Amino acid sequence: MDAEAAAEPRSRPRRLPRVAGALLTVVLLAAGGVLYAEGRQLRDTPATANLALTDAEATARVTGDVSNALGRIFSYGPGTTAGAKKAAEDVLAGQALKQYAALYGQVERQSADQRLTLTTQAVRAGVTRLTATSAHLLVFLDQVYERRGRAATTASAQLDVTAELREGRWRIVEIGSP
């Protein structure tokens, strides 16, 4: 029995480092998991997902594409309405194309009857939300109306625009007023 009693104290010190090492490993893994989850939560905020805040090149591209598109589709004269209509088919899609087509008949008649020329230029555009495939912009326009026998009139407009990246090109899918 003395041999058993003498063997017992020796086995306890061998188990203690193993148990302590296993507990330390579990605690470190749990702490690492918690820290990883916290880090992901900090990185995955809506602000970091908005490329308008983090990708200047993509923001400049969508701003330029949408601004140019609006200038093309909202600029026409008595003999150039077909060009504006063709531009609309190139740069509009979805709801925006339907709205434009519904109103375009009136534009063609007014332009011919009144010898109306409209020149539109985007003077400022801001991207409020940008992802890899969609963008939301607020665009400020200056428009110059010229009618036969009358002085030119200048007006400003604001548009709320949603665009989608399709086949490598930004196309306007919704146009509204803010």
Block residue for tokens 């995955």:
44
How much is the mean pLDDT over the chain? 86
* The pLDDT value given to residue 144: 95
pTM: 0.73
CA 43 from centroid of its chain's CA atoms: 18
Residue type (1 letter), 138: L
Please give the class, per CATH, of domain 52-176: alpha beta
- Residues 34-45, mean pLDDT to the nearest whole number: 73
- In percent, how much of the chain has pLDDT > 70? 89
Phi-psi region of 32 (alpha: psi -120 to 50; beta: other; left: phi over 0): alpha
